[in-house]
Every structure is written in C-alpha cells, then in structure tokens.
Amino acid sequence: MSTNLVRDGDFETTGSSAWNMTAINEGGVKKESETVTNQYCQIFPSESTYQDIGLGINQSFMLTFKYRGIIGGTVHIFNSNSNESVEIIKSLSPQENWTDMNVQFTVDYDYSAYRLHFQAAYSELTDETLDIDEVSVVEVTQD
C-alpha cells in the first residue's frame, strides 16, 4: 500500500488548509446531508480547487477520485511555479451520480513542483457544481 500524496483527499478534516479554492465564498467543503456524515468538495462553474503535490520525474502514479455533477469538468496536473499545464489528465463527462475514476499517468516533465487541479466546466447553470471526493495519488511501483 503506497502512501497517498494528496492531503485531506477525503475532505473530512474540518479546517484543513490542504486545498485551495478559486472562489472561497461560493465553493468549498460541504456536508452530504444531515444523515450522511460525509464531506466532499463543491466546485461552482468555471471555478477550481487545487493543491500542490510531490511527484517524481519518470515515475508512474495512479490518480483515483470520485465525482458527480451535470456540468462536468477537467482534472489537470500543472507546473505550480508557472501554472503551465503539464497535461490534461482527464476530461470529466457530466455525471448525475457519484462516479469512480482511475487514471494512471507518468510524469515526463521535470518541474520542481506539481499542482493537482480540478476545474468545473463553464455553465449557465450557476447553481450546479462539480463535486469531488476521495482523491488520492499513489506511486505505482513496477514489478
């Protein structure tokens, strides 16, 4: 079992500063409901949430998370020093219900700092959100 490189990937740590939000007054960590004690992250249209993570050059990683939202979005890895996109890892198609994602990727760019970045798509449905939860990045070891 490899270590999860993402801090507070389940959004259960109240007051955590692990994630940054582009619209702190709108999005953020929300409770599922009064009866389900799960917290997740809500991202409003065109907004994003991100955190810097440590990745090694020429290593492979598995990104897993679940998401939902009829607006969809994207997940990227950026060079956090320049905000230059290393690659778009995955486009997130609109999903009404929680959907599991597993994406394996290899870091080909030697940047000192990397940013895991979730972006909600632009939408005129301004009350809709892209929700994410259970985010993890673990190194994939070769056999």
Site residues for Ca ion per CB under 5 A: 10-11, 38-39, 133
Q: What are phi and psi of 70, to 5 degrees?
A: -80, -5
| Shortest distance (Å) from residue 12 CB to Ca ion | 5
Alpha carbon distance 120, 76 (integer Å):
11
Query: 132 with 64: CB under 8 angstroms?
Result: no
**Which of 11, 114 has the CB closer to Ca ion?**
11
29 or 55: whose CB is closer to Ca ion? 29
Least distance from C-beta 139 to Ca ion, angstroms? Answer: 23
CB of 130 to Ca ion, least distance (A): 15
Provide, rounded to whole angstroms, the least separation between the CB of residue 16 and Ca ion: 12
Q: Is the dihedral of CA 87, 102, 46, 27 positive or negative?
A: negative
Nearest residue (CB) to Ca ion, 2 versus 38:
38
Q: Smaller CB distance to Ca ion: residue 55 or 135? A: 135
Burial of 102 (0-12, 13-18, 19+ CB in 10 A): exposed
